[in-house]
Amino acid sequence: MTNYDLIIRNGQIVTSESVSKGDIAIKDGKIVEVSINKEISAIATNEINAEGLHVFPGLIDTHVHFNEPGRTEWEGITTGSKSLAAGGVTSYFDMPLNSTPPVINKENLEIKRKLSEEKSIVNANFWGGLVPENIDQLKGLHENGVIGFKAFMSPSGIDDFHSANDETLYKGMKEIASLGSRLAVHAESTVITEQLAAEKLQEGKTSARDFVESRPIISEIEAVKRIISYAEATGCKVHVVHASSRKVVQVIEEAKKRGVDITVETCAHYLALTVKDLEEKGGLAKCAPPLRDQEEVEELWVAVANGELDMIASDHSPAPTSMKTVTDNYFEGWGGISGAQSTLNVMLTEGYFKRNIPLEKIATLMAKNPAKVFGLANKGDIAVGFDADIAIVNLNESFRLESEDLFYRHQHSPYVGKTFQGKVKITIVNGNVVFENGSFPIA
């Protein structure tokens, strides 16, 4: 009789195609058998009875800032990766900033990789940066395994990671295209946002609404249209991060129809929070692009339902509480939301339960598509031969998120106080249980 390392029995197995009751057998970190509506008769060293639970492919968060090395007091790999595991995430893509030094050459990449090998309890992948001074470093970064490249079309807020002007974008995209890689962009117009902000400040208008109005949706649209034109001119594959409005997504949809290889993500906070949350929670809910009004949230959910979005990420961009405190000037204070632990909670509560978004679509947006777009051949699905990355969830369990539930270095988030339906019970990475009922057995 075959002996496996682990068998997950009686779970509702969620893939991009179906939800079916079955068993999953794992050996040497791989899924070696999936049996639907029929018990696996083999024995295993360990077994998990997932009766009444849903078994998702391990989720992939394509957009986090773990800030190590250099700004570990903001967030670190240990706390960041634990937070992801608690949210059912088994792989992440760490942005080239806000760590210091930023990942703009292969030497800095190696520093980050070694730290992640020592500290991360989930699978780590890395973005390389595109900045004006490193176009000659892109090939070395690619050859050393970056998942893609990230550029800011407006100031990043970090002194050692410069935004990419049009010439840098064009030249960088030609090089990235030659490497067969993909460029991710923070797409906001510097001219529009800086002029509007200056006008607001001159008039003494510093409220949450004033901040939001200084970074309008049209600013995103202008930048997206520009990057699409460069993509068409250079043949470079493009990924637009954190689109805050369906209006932005629709511009990208039109480009896709013309044959442009372009993908787009939104973030959980644009699907769950509004300007009202920014007014009530202050700096904890400040981000760029900013939160929008409820009608924009509803339109983004239409985009989710229609398959117009490629993936959902967290854009976990943490900072100490002192940097998130806003008094009467919302233009001050660090913009970035702590949310890596709660992305699946948002998708289940706001999507599946409130808006009837199928579980299969959630698995597609949070596992299958990220793996497919970024070439993670053995991840993103529950199938024979795939890595045994799995999240086991109790959809019947609701909970109110409290600060003490968070595993971030700084236990704050705009989601604190919200009630979620669907709780992650077990997270498995490469066949090993890394999170179980609130604790980390091998951390």
**Mean pLDDT on 352-371:** 98
The SS3 of residue 20 is strand
- Residue 300 confidence (pLDDT): 98
Helices 217-234 and 190-202 cross at an angle (nearest 10°) of: 160
Answer whether residue 228 is part of any domain. Answer: yes
Q: Is 367 helix (H, G, I), strand (E, B) or coil?
A: helix
Residue 378 within a domain: no
Question: Does residue 197 lie in a domain region?
Answer: yes
> Does 185 lie in the same domain as 242?
yes
Q: Are residues 427 and 279 in the same domain?
A: no
Q: Rounded mean pLDDT of 426-432?
A: 98
pLDDT above 90 for 328:
no
Q: What are phi and psi of 322, to 5 degrees?
A: -60, -30
Residue 24 to residue 47: CA distance in whole angstroms: 10
Question: How far is it, in rounded angstroms, from Cα 294 to Cα 10?
Answer: 39
Whether a cis peptide bond, with omega within 30° of 0, leads into 155 is no
Tell me, yes or no, whether 156 and 220 share the same domain: yes
Classify residue 38 as exposed, middle or buried by CB count within 10 Å of its CB (0-12, 13-18, 19+).
exposed
Q: Are residues 230 and 161 in the same domain?
A: yes
Verify that 291 and 397 share a domain, yes or no. no
Contact 187, 289 (CB under 8 A): no
Buried b (16+ CB within 10 A) or exposed e, 420-431: bbbbbbbbbbbb
Tell me the β-bridge partners of 3.
43
Residue 443 pLDDT class (50, 70, 90 cuts):
low
Q: What is the pLDDT of residue 137?
A: 97
Count of domains observed in the chain: 2
Residue 296 is part of a domain; what is its CATH number? 3.20.20.140
Amino acid at 33: E
Reported in sequence order, the residue ranges of 120-192 that DSSP labels E, i.e. its strands, are 123-129, 148-152, 182-186
Same domain, 29 and 139: no
Are 310 and 366 within one domain?
Answer: yes
Query: Residue 338: is its pLDDT beyond 90?
Result: yes
Task: Round to whole Å and give the CA distance between 313 and 326.
Answer: 25
Q: 443 versus 418: which is more confidently predicted?
A: 418
The bridge status of strand 148-152 relative to strand 123-129 is parallel
pLDDT digits (tens, 9 = 90+) for 171-202: 999 999 999 999 999 999 999 999 999 999 99
What percent of the chain shows pLDDT beyond 70? 99
Question: 254: Cβ–Cβ under 8 A, 6 or more apart, which residues?
Answer: none
**Residue 257: other Cβ atoms inside 10 A:** 8
Q: Which residues, at least 6 apart from 76, have a Cβ–Cβ distance to it below 8 Å?
A: 66, 67, 68, 119, 409
Give the pLDDT band of residue 325 (cuts 50, 70, 90).
Answer: confident
Structure confidence at residue 1 (pLDDT): 58
CATH of the domain at 20: 2.30.40.10
Output phi, psi for 124, to 5 deg. Answer: -105, 135
CB under 8 Å to 402, separation ≥6 — which residues?
416, 417
Residues in CB range of 38: below 8 A, 6 or more apart: 22, 23
Burial of 43 (0-12, 13-18, 19+ CB in 10 A): exposed
pLDDT of the residue at 216? 98
Given a cut of 90, whether residue 326 has pLDDT beyond it is: no
Which ranges of 35-137 does DSSP label H, i.e. alpha helix? 77-86, 106-119
> Measured at the alpha carbon of residue 12, what is the angle toward residues 92 and 386, in degrees to the nearest 5?
45
Shared domain for 47 and 126, answered yes or no, is no
Maximum separation of any 2 CA atoms in the chain, in Å: 77
Q: Give the total residue count for the chain.
A: 443
As a whole number of angstroms, the distance between CA 66 and CA 116 comes to 10
Q: Which pairing describes strands 419-429 and 432-436: parallel, antiparallel, or unpaired?
A: antiparallel
Residue with tokens 């629709």: 250
CB atoms within 10 A of CB 295: 11
Whole-model pTM? 0.97
Which tens digits make up the pLDDT trace of 73-118? 999 999 999 999 999 999 999 999 999 999 999 999 999 999 999 9
> Is residue 442 domain-resident?
no
Place of tokens 């699907």: 271
Q: Determine, yes or no, domain membership for 361.
A: yes
The verdict on residue 379 lying in a domain is no
Residues 242 and 297 in one domain: yes
pLDDT digits (tens, 9 = 90+) for 231-290: 999 999 999 999 999 999 999 999 999 999 999 999 999 999 999 999 999 999 999 999
* pLDDT value of residue 247: 98
30 in any annotated domain: yes
Q: Do residues 15 and 105 share a domain? A: no
- The residue whose two tokens read 């793996």 is 371
Q: Examine residue 235 and state whether it is found in any structural domain, yes or no.
A: yes
The answer to whether 150 touches 184, Cβ cutoff 8 Å, is: yes
Both 292 and 273 in a single domain? yes
d(CA 414, CA 284): 5
Q: Do 103 and 30 lie in a common domain? A: no
For residue 36, what are the domain limits? 3-55+385-410+419-436
| Average of per-residue pLDDT values in the chain | 96
Could you tell me what percent of the chain has a pLDDT over 90? 96
